[in-house]
Amino acid sequence: LKICLTCKAAPQQLSAAQVDAGHGIVVMTDILYNSFFLTGSSWSKLGSVPLKHVSVGPAGIWGVNKDDKVHKFSGGDFFPVLGLELKQLDAGGQGHVVGVTDTDKIYCLNADRAFSIQKEGILTWDQLQGRLRYFSCGPNGCWGVNSIQHIYFTVKVLPNTCEISGFIRINGLGVKIEVGTDGRVFILNQSGQLYERAGISDKVPQGTEWKEIAFQEPLKHASYDLGHLWLVTKCGVILECTD
């Protein structure tokens, strides 16, 4: 099964690397570690700290630099958050932040700690079971992929305690997975093909099947929020798509 979307070139920023959308905000990084946020029809610089990955959601705007140092945005710029180094993180949960280390260990920062830190300080993260190389949370659970591209789902990571209900393996293979703030799930495979998880409901939070979203060129990043799917092609072009 294939899904067709209506896409247009979004406002461009040279050499886009990654995009993330959540809570009505769209942020991106380029290959030179600059961060931007979308204002109207153009990108504006987001802080002064070089970052390789940024994420926005109920927990605010967070990022990691090329040395895996964690940062949070507050008061007009990013400040370092000590206590743990992560290669990828996600602020799309219900106030909590999740992420993975360079050895694929999985961590969660509960909502109280994520909210309360407003300047440089040390935070205590909770380690979750398992190993993942990319991890993303939404209102109906969290999704991740591991080093051999297997896909895993957990129905709940409790935002206040980081307690987890356990992972189940989902069919398919992928390298990056993103959950929208409304619960829609999108995955990219190694070839840059994009799929959406279909059949997600309260009774079946893990959904029932993957549906391919057909594109003419391979993609390297995807993020969804408020009816808009934001994509970065392998060539660094940003696309904005709607159903």
- Report CA Rg, the chain: 16
> Global pTM?
0.94
Average pLDDT over residues 168-180: 97
Asked whether the predicted pLDDT for residue 147 surpasses 80, the reply is yes
Predicted pLDDT of residue 2: 65
Residue-wise pLDDT tens digits, 190-208? 999 999 999 999 999 999 9
The rounded distance, in Å, linking the Cα atoms of 66 and 223 is 21
**Phi then psi for 113, rounded to 5 degrees?**
-65, -40
Per cent of the chain over pLDDT 90 is: 86
pLDDT, the chain, mean: 94
The rounded distance, in Å, linking the Cα atoms of 86 and 117 is 17
- Under the banding of pLDDT at 50, 70 and 90, the label for residue 112 is very high
Per cent of the chain over pLDDT 70 is: 99
Average pLDDT over residues 158-171: 95
* Cα 95–chain centre separation: 14
CATH number of the 18-187 domain: 2.130.10.30
